[in-house]
Chain A
Amino acid sequence: MDGLFQEQIDHLAERHFLVLYWVAHAEDRRIRYNLTNCFDDLKLAGITRTKQTALATVEALTALRFIEIREQGNRKNLYITQHGAEALKLLVLRGAFSPRKSAFLEAQL
């Protein structure tokens, strides 16, 4: 299984890394981070201009069980899983991508 996990991580792109990173930070600060926030941040980071790509990124991470979506009220909020935390840790240790600030989280300061 370790081999599969490594391979899954190898195929993650910057947008997956950023979503994991922002989701973890949101949870750390007890802020609810939903799909719309994720789309806005990816757009501001210049990663994508379409909501479909943001949705596809979130769906991929969900399918890999790196994040989970919880329907809270009429919002779909995102939370990192333990597998997602391991994945993020590996990506950080590899220095594969540089973190970028989430405009949504910055605005909550």
Chain B
Amino acid sequence: MTLGIGGAGSRLAVKLDPGATIVNVSQIELEKTPAEHRILAMVHAARGQLQGSRKDPAIGRAAFASVKDELLALCRNSLLFASTGGGTGSGMTAALLEELATRDDIPPTEKAVFALLLPHAERESAEYVNNTLDFLRGPLSLAIDTGNTGNIFLFSNRLKFESRLPEDEYNTMLVDSLQVFLAIPEKCAQLDLLDGHIDPEDFSLFMSRPYFNHFTYFEFDPAKPFGEQLRSNLNPLLLLPDNPIEALFLLEVPADADPAPFYDLIDFFVDQEVTPSYTVVRNSQRGKYFVTVSLLYSRKPAELVEDFSRISEKRARAKVRKSLEQHVTLPRLEVNLERETKRVGKEKGATEEDVLAVLQRIGKL
């Protein structure tokens, strides 16, 4: 089951799975995304049904109440897409994570995997960055503490802005990348097994672990150290990982090539005190070794928040400086209070001469 919450989350969910269910507070937004199942979340607003949540997560949170039971049932063992910057995705997902945090012992088979799209703080609006900060500080932190979610993928919009890609193209890139990782159990089932084994249940168990998941894939050169190659091939669509707690890899070995280099990968992880789950398969379609690797790490939300705060504050400072430079010139003012009083009096139609003239006219001076 794939779920998409909010505009950005829905577009990603449908791209990955045309049978996805999407949720939005706006009927118009819902109809724009060609999903098989659509859920309209209701917000009680004075002016009727809203046409969006105006980047306000409070609206998404309010709307969550109308679809709470449905969403809680749907998110079991599902992959849920949402952006953390906007109103609907951020607000509803925050409320969902908080609700999940109150549950006791969600079984691994029922945990929801979250694919969250974070804004690129240097290029996107301050509201998106602030909403993301609130999301990371609050509900995401809570979810990690309780361990009631599955893997959390932290996708970033950084590459989109740096490569100047249209949203649809970027979404395709992101979904294609995720599909490489999600295809691991299928490849294990279809290709000739050389060593290790990851069956769908193993993969599902790995996905149910409540950690951040950084996956990547690249052509592996056995002549070079694996660690160096991994560092230079980290997935640019995801936030950078921290030291892994758990790891999983699939090594595809070309026809007639020696499978033994997979021991280099195991050695690399053992050096990091991680025993990986792995599979080595023969893929005659490949001309070179190809590795798909996933690192589960527990980069604390506080550290993520720090990264974001730093950029956010830098942006705020730059914004203030820019507006000062653009709009404010501060000339040297020399104020003579006596002259200023007379000027104000004159503006109000009463100079000292006027008052004295009045007093003389009425014969009191």
A interface residues (Cβ-Cβ under 8 A, vs B): 21, 24-25, 27-28, 80-82, 84-86, 88-89, 92-93, 95, 98-101
Contacts and interface: CB of A to CB of B under 8 A. Distances in A.
A95 B341 contact: yes
Contacts of B356: 89, 92
24 contacts: A24-B358, A24-B359, A25-B358, A28-B361, A28-B362, A81-B364, A82-B365, A84-B364, A85-B359, A86-B365, A89-B356, A92-B352, A92-B355, A92-B356, A93-B352, A95-B337, A95-B338, A95-B345, A95-B352, A98-B348, A99-B345, A99-B348, A99-B355, A101-B348
Interface string B327-365: 000000000011001101100111010011011011011
Nearest to B361: A28
Contacts of A82: 364-365
Please provide the 5 A-B residue pairs with the shortest distance between their CB atoms, ordered closest to farther: A85-B364, A95-B341, A99-B350, A85-B359, A92-B352
Contact of A98 (B344, B362, B365): B344
B342 A95 contact: yes
A27 B355 CA distance: 12
Contact of A100 (B341, B348, B355): B348
Contacts of A86: 365
A24 B355 CA distance: 8
A92 B352 CA distance: 6
Interface residue tally on B, bucketed by range: 10 to 19
Contacts of B337: 95
Given A21-B355, A24-B355, A89 B365 contact: yes
B341 A98 contact: yes
A60 B51 CA distance: 65
Contact of A85 (B341, B350, B365): B365
A27 B362 contact: yes
Contacts of B342: 95
B63 to A, nearest CB: 46
B359 A89 contact: yes
Contacts of B338: 95
Nearest to B364: A85
B100 to A, nearest CB: 56
A38 to B, nearest CB: 17
Contacts of A93: 352
Contact of A80 (B344, B345, B350, B362): B362
B346 to A, nearest CB: 10
Contacts of B349: 101
Interface string B17-28: 000000000000
B358 to A, nearest CB: 5
A93 B341 CA distance: 11
A30 to B, nearest CB: 10
A97 B270 CA distance: 84
Nearest to A81: B364
Nearest to B352: A92
Nearest to B365: A85
B343 to A, nearest CB: 10
A82 B349 CA distance: 24
Nearest to B341: A95
A89 B362 CA distance: 13
A100 B350 CA distance: 9
A57 B345 CA distance: 23
A98 B341 CA distance: 7
Nearest to B355: A92
Contacts of B358: 24-25, 28
Given A24-B362, A89-B365, 17 more contacts: A24-B355, A28-B362, A80-B359, A80-B364, A81-B364, A82-B364, A85-B362, A88-B355, A88-B359, A89-B355, A89-B356, A95-B342, A98-B341, A98-B345, A99-B345, A99-B348, A101-B349
A22 B348 CA distance: 14
Nearest to B360: A85
A72 B364 CA distance: 21
Contacts of A21: 350, 355
A101 B356 CA distance: 16
